[in-house]
Each structure stands twice: as structure tokens, then as C-alpha cells.
Amino acid sequence: MQVFEELLEWISIHWVTITVILHVSSSLLTSLHVLLFKENERTSLAWIGLVIFSPVVGTLFYWLFGINRIKRLAQREHPQTIKQDFCNQEKPIDFHELPENWHSSIIAGYTIHPVNCVADNQIEPLVNGDTAYPAMIESIEHAKHYIVLASYIFDYDPLGKQFVNALAAAHQRGVTVNVLLDGIGVGYSWRKSDRALKKLGVQTARFLPAISFTSIRFINLRNHRKILCIDGEVAYIGGMNISKNNVVKRASHPVDDIHFKVIGPVIDQISQVFKEDWFFATGSLIQFPSFKQNTNEQKSNNSVVARVIQDGPDEHHNRARWTLINALACAKTSVKIMTPYFIPDQILMTSLHAAALRGISVEIIVPEHSNILFVDWVMEANFPRITQHGIKIYKNKRPFDHSKIVIIDDIWSFIGSTNWDPRSLEFNFEINLECFDIDFNAKLTVLFASKRENSELVIEDELTRLATYKKIRNNLVRLFSPYL
């Protein structure tokens, strides 16, 4: 007892020295970890600054949120002997008679993400929930064997209840239904949709649950994918969550968005991503039928050459970013981007400026007001840098537009769940389709033009007239853009 009292007395006398030693040693070890494992210089410097100037808190914050444990977890949880069930058999690269100037892009693309493009796909744009949701529910109602659904947000509102009821009815008639919800996104509806599905017998799982002592470190990593596959016959992907706000004609806070109905062999690649995610979340392998061409369909209508680009903070890290950089390098005439959040990193921004310097028309549409005020400030701070070298950026006056498409020339497009921001490109698990087709691009170009008609071009005079306090505010928040 006397020894314990003497120890306490010694600590009370020397507590400042002890605190300094602990802070210096922990800061040094943490900074060394940052230097060894962080690739981005700006991010590394920001973490080191936080660790040094925020004693204990900065170090704790880094070890909780600054380390990508998912890649190591994926490697451990996805042993190669099991992943072979998921992986495509290696095949020679098929150029599908695409223009020769895209051949180098296809070769590089296969190196970035070793999945081949497949031909004979039909991809139909579905604008807003007014069009997408009825088609999705109808497909669920016609399901015969299997349904897999993944969504970041699944609101338990009148629209969400329609999906719950349709999925439950499918389960009751003998269809195997698997629903995967993000561990954080499910909280948007206070987990009511999750509980309602389970109560009705539908098998659900959460991807990286947030409420757990073992998984709080993953709170910053989200499954942002939106996937619906039915019987291997039809699939839906894009940027649309399940929410009444996407039914624009009836919503009090409407959100514009675009989803895509997919028919064709690329469905196998889409369902494969779900199977991997389900296995990651549950440890269980699920069966799902391969796509079979319907002989009653006109094959000539299925002209899109496409492949899945899978991205996330695991073994698929940076594949969306490198796919975009690769495509921008092949652009010859035009680049059109529509995204709800446009905060590209220096590499992507340089690629866009390089395209503009080659005389390529680069146009970007962002919302006039997004659903995140801080992001609006960061985008506004970046406008002067973005508009250099002739890049045009437009602010869409519609209610918040969540659409995400990239169109290059008259043949290449990129559709799916990825935003042009650090969170989406660094932390989120995303799914996109890289597409080659003139007719499909023409449809997307018409959509882009209609959005541009309702948009206002950002001009240099407006940027210079911006109030000084707003410039300071915007640029101050911009410093934290990697964490927004």
C-alpha cells in the first residue's frame, strides 16, 4: 500500500513530464506510421500536424480512422482458394471491334482491373425514382428464383415500404432473397427497413456494422454500391438509393438522380460483386444464376460493350480513379461530367486540364446547392482552379441533382455510384460500369444537354466579385476536403 501511495505521489509531481514523454513517443510512432503507409503528401502532412498539435486526441483519431484495415481484412477473409469461386477465368483481351484509338485504353483498363469487357448488353437510363422504382419493383414481382439487393440508404418511408412488401412477397412465394445494407446507411431510417425485412423472413446483412466495439474503426468506410439483380436476367445499378425523395413529382424535398436497367452478360460481373460483398459481410457463399440470352430478344438492340469497375479501400483501391485518368488520356473531342460533388484530387484535376489544353471541350455540371453545405463551399473555392484552360462548369438550378455520369467523345461512358470526391474515391466501396457504345452515349448526351439547359455557367467575373469573407471561409474549409 505504501508503494502504491508513493507511486501516486511521484506521478502527481512528475505528471507534466510523463505526459510530454507519452505525447512525444506516441506522436513519433504515429508519424512514422503515417510516413510509411500514407501515399498522399497533403493527407500525410495533415495527419502529422493533427497528431503533433492535438496531444492524445490526434493520435487516437488517427489510429481509429486514419488506417485502412479493410485491405488487410479483405485479404484475410477472402483467401485465394475461396476467391477463385468469384474470379473470372483469364481470357485474352477482346477489343470488340471498337475504334483503334481506344485499344490502348482497353489494354490499360484490363491491367487496372483484370475483368474483360463483354458485348451484347442493353443498358437503359431510368431518370429519377418516378421511372426507376416502378421498373425495379415490377422486376422483383416477376422474380422466380433469386433476388439480391444492396443499397447504401433504404428509407422506411412509403416508397421503402413498397420495396419491403415486394421483397417479402417474393420470399413468401419461394424466391431466395438476400438484402445487404451498409452499416451506417441503414441508420438513416433508424434501421426500420432492416428490422421490417427480417420480421417478414427476408435474409438481410449489414456491411461493416457501425454499432460495435470491434468495428467502430470502420465507421469511415461505407458500402456505397446500389445493386439489384434478379434471376440473372435483369440488373439495376446507378446512384439511386431507396427513398421517397427520388420520386420527384411527389417529394417535398426532391432529389434528381439516374439509375440504369441492365440486360446482358455484364450482369454476371454485377452479381459477382454482390456475392463478394455478401461473403465479406456474412462469411457465407450464395448461389446466383448466370445470365442466359433470351432467344426472344432482338440481339441487335443489345449493342453496349461494358464491364464492371469495382472500387473500394480494399484490394480494389483506386481502380475507379485510374479508369477515369486512363479514359481522359484517350479523349479526342469532348468530356462531359455530371456529379453531385466535384472535389477531384490533384491527379484527376491535372488530367482534366491536360485534356482542355489539347483543345478538348470539358464541361462539368454540379448542383447549385448540394445536400452538404461544406461541400458547396469547397467546390466554390475550387471554381477558379477548375475553370483554368477553358474548362466550363455549370451550376444546376434544379433541386439537388445526385446524378453521376461521365461521357467522353461519342463512345465511352462511366456510370454507377462513384462521386468525384475524396470520400467516394478513397473510402467508399463503389460499383460502376465502363461502357462503349455510340447509341448509349447519344442518350446520355441528350440527358446531359437537358441538365445544362437548366444550369448557369460559372464565369470568372462572379468569382472575383465574391465577398472576401466567403473566399476565406471557402478556402479554409477546402483544407479539410480530404475528410469531408
Query: Which of the residue ranges 119-123, 191-195, 393-397 would you say has the lowest mean pLDDT?
Result: 191-195
Residue 94 within any structural domain of the chain: no
Residues 259 and 325 in one domain: no
How far apart, in whole angstroms, are the C-alpha atoms of residue 328 and residue 161? 41
Domain boundary among 52, 67, 82: 67
How far apart, in whole angstroms, are the C-alpha atoms of residue 240 and residue 126? 10
Using 50, 70 and 90 to split pLDDT, how confident is the model at 31?
Answer: confident
Residues 296 and 333 in one domain: no
* Residue 422, pLDDT above cutoff 90: no
* Residue 122, pLDDT above cutoff 70: yes
Residues 282 and 134 in one domain: yes
Residues 346 and 203 in one domain: no
Nearest to 152, CA basis, from 223, 219, 237: 223
Using 50, 70 and 90 to split pLDDT, how confident is the model at 484?
Answer: low
Nearest to 400, CA basis, from 252, 228, 223, 236: 252
Residues 271 and 340 in one domain: no
Single-letter residue type at 335: V
Backbone angles phi, psi at 118, to 5 degrees: -125, 145
How far apart, in whole angstroms, are the C-alpha atoms of residue 255 and residue 129? 9
Residue 203 within any structural domain of the chain: yes
- Domain of residue 170 covers 117-305
Q: Which grid coordinates belong to 98?
A: 471498337
pLDDT at position 4, please?
Answer: 67
pLDDT at position 141, please?
Answer: 97
Residues 155 and 301 in one domain: yes
* Residue 68, pLDDT above cutoff 80: no
pLDDT at position 372, please?
Answer: 87
Nearest to 159, CA basis, from 247, 260, 237: 247
Looking up residue 236, the CATH number of its domain turns out to be 3.30.870.10
Q: Which grid coordinates belong to 67?
A: 488506417
Asked whether the beta carbons of 381 and 478 are under 8 A apart, the reply is: yes
Using 50, 70 and 90 to split pLDDT, how confident is the model at 214?
Answer: low
Backbone angles phi, psi at 401, to 5 degrees: -105, 115
Residues 56 and 152 in one domain: no
User: Between the CA of residue 316 and those of 67, 214, 427, what are the distances in Å?
Assistant: 16, 23, 11
Using 50, 70 and 90 to split pLDDT, how confident is the model at 79?
Answer: very low
Residues 50 and 125 in one domain: no
pLDDT digits (tens, 9 = 90+) for 159-179: 999 999 999 999 999 999 999
Residue 81 within any structural domain of the chain: no
* Residue 210, pLDDT above cutoff 70: no
Residues 353 and 476 in one domain: yes
pLDDT digits (tens, 9 = 90+) for 406-415: 999 999 999 9
Residue 29 within any structural domain of the chain: yes
Could you identify the residue written with the cell 447509341?
439
Encode burial over 196-222: b for 16+ CB neighbours within 10 A, e otherwise. Answer: bbeeeebbbbbbbbbeeeeeebbbbbb
Q: Taking phi first (over 0 means left), then psi (-120 to 50 degrees means alpha), and beta for anything else, what does residue 190 get?
A: left
Using 50, 70 and 90 to split pLDDT, how confident is the model at 215?
Answer: low
Start-end of H helices in 38-100: 41-53, 57-65, 70-77, 80-83
Using 50, 70 and 90 to split pLDDT, how confident is the model at 36?
Answer: confident
Sign of CA dihedral 424, 427, 432, 438: positive
pLDDT at position 81, please?
Answer: 45
| Average pLDDT score over residue span 117-123 | 95
Residues 240 and 380 in one domain: no
Residues 192 and 272 in one domain: yes
Say how many CA atoms lie within 13 Å of 152 toward its Cβ: 18
Say how many CA atoms lie within 13 Å of 448 toward its Cβ: 26
pLDDT digits (tens, 9 = 90+) for 330-364: 999 999 999 999 999 889 999 999 999 999 999 99
Could you identify the residue written with the cell 502527481?
12
Residues 256 and 372 in one domain: no
pLDDT at position 190, please?
Answer: 66
How far apart, in whole angstroms, are the C-alpha atoms of residue 91 and residue 112? 15
Name beta bridge partners: 393. Answer: 364
pLDDT at position 29, please?
Answer: 85
Using 50, 70 and 90 to split pLDDT, how confident is the model at 186?
Answer: confident
Residue 123 within any structural domain of the chain: yes
Residue 74 within any structural domain of the chain: no
How far apart, in whole angstroms, are the C-alpha atoms of residue 53 and residue 31? 12
* Residue 390, pLDDT above cutoff 70: yes
pLDDT at position 30, please?
Answer: 83
* Residue 307, pLDDT above cutoff 90: yes
Nearest to 328, CA basis, from 306, 356, 307, 365: 356
Mean pLDDT for all residues in the chain: 86
Domain boundary among 282, 305, 328: 305
* Residue 300, pLDDT above cutoff 70: no
Residue 277 within any structural domain of the chain: yes
User: Between the CA of residue 379 and those of 288, 353, 362, what are the distances in Å?
Assistant: 42, 16, 17
Asked whether the beta carbons of 432 and 311 are under 8 A apart, the reply is: yes
Domain boundary among 29, 47, 67: 67
How far apart, in whole angstroms, are the C-alpha atoms of residue 147 and residue 294? 19
| Average pLDDT score over residue span 58-81 | 62
* Residue 82, pLDDT above cutoff 80: no
* Residue 147, pLDDT above cutoff 90: yes
How far apart, in whole angstroms, are the C-alpha atoms of residue 276 and residue 125? 26
Using 50, 70 and 90 to split pLDDT, how confident is the model at 86?
Answer: very low
* Residue 461, pLDDT above cutoff 90: no
Determine how many CB atoms are found less than 10 A away from the CB of residue 385.
13
Residue 467 within any structural domain of the chain: yes
Instruction: Tally the domains of the chain.
Output: 3
User: Between the CA of residue 44 and those of 40, 62, 105, 216, 322, what are the distances in Å?
Assistant: 6, 11, 31, 22, 21
